[in-house]
Amino acid sequence: MTEHNNVQTLNQFIIERQSDHPGAKGELSRLLHHVGIAAKIVNRAVNKAGLVDILGEHGDQNVQGEDQQKLDVFADTHFIDALKASGECAAVASEENEDIIIFEDEMAKNAKYVFCMDPLDGSSNIDVNVSIGTIFSIFERVTPRGQVATMEDFLQEGTKQVAAGYVIYGSSTMLVYTTGNGVNGFTLDPSIGEFCLSHPNIKTPKSGTIYSINEGNYINFPQGVKKYIKYCQEKDARSKRPFTSRYIGSLVADFHRNLLKGGIFIYPQTNKNPDGKLRLTYECNPVAFIAEQAGGMATNGDIRILEIKPDSIHQRVPFYTGSTNMVKKTEEFLHFFNNI
């Protein structure tokens, strides 16, 4: 029998933390509540994926030219529906859609926030039962309330995020988020159908022993990244090297492990992708916000991720994030070899 005494649910936590934001009227709390609902719907689908016709390719490609998986489309649809139902979201930017999705009803026109998301990160891993996730970011709109949102509302620096988080659908389902006052993690308790506080005030170690990068692309990496990988593989007892290489191929899963254990995640620019491959608005910005709030770092190898002003919602950037000392060491290699 599961013990539920003194368990704090996500909704209780959100309401209690509302006082962190002077002038808050509950709009962000309601929006985050609906994010939790959508996460539970997607989690149920992920858990049933092998039993129903939801695995495999949908037959279309998304704006990135990637084959859409059926579960990608399912997650995208249900998050959009939940956000619209909240009445607190004016528009959505999603990896799965080329243009922003604007809600035109009166409640949405008066909504305070816009929402950016990768509805199902790592979806190429769906068919092989590897952890996948949802990444999201929330901004206050800059256009006047009372009219429809525009692209201007989305092209803001990451420093202006009011909340960001991710959901990881794995051996257990976790929702991790920040509103700029630390990072907290909630694990879904299936016996009561609620996300419960399991990882309060997450702090990432200043140094770690894990590096996460797709070494299959080694030949195409900048020289500084190649040298850093070799540094990670050298033997040095003082710095606890050689480090351990761990790469799942799902940003949420790789980042989550490194956040808790200490490590660095690297997706650099390559010969094939000179601007990097991960998207700034709905992948790197939210993860960077969480990393910094947990005491870590996130850069493009030279500039703090949260200070980059996007020029499009699907803009790509190189991404280096994780334990502060490891990110700084990587930047030293990049700057020394003049690859930035």
Of 165, 314, 167, 182, the C-alpha closest to 250 is 167
Flag whether 20 is marked binding.
no
For residue 277, say whether it is annotated as part of any ligand binding site: yes
CA 281 to chain centre: 10
Has 212 been labeled as part of a binding site? no
* Residue 57 assigned ligand-binding role: no
Q: Is 124 annotated as contributing to ligand binding?
A: yes
Name the residue among 226, 299, 212, 214 with its Cα closest to residue 264: 212
Q: Is 118 annotated as a binding residue?
A: yes
User: CA torsion 231→336→286→156, rounded to 10°?
Assistant: -170
Inter-residue contact 320 to 330 (CB < 8 Å):
yes
Is there a binding annotation on residue 95?
yes
Residue 194 among known ligand-binding residues: no
First to last CA, the chain: 56
Q: Is 247 annotated as a binding residue?
A: yes
Binding residues: 95, 118, 120-124, 214, 247, 277, 283
Binding residues for substrate: 121-124, 214, 247, 277
Binding residues for Mg(2+): 95, 118, 120-121, 283
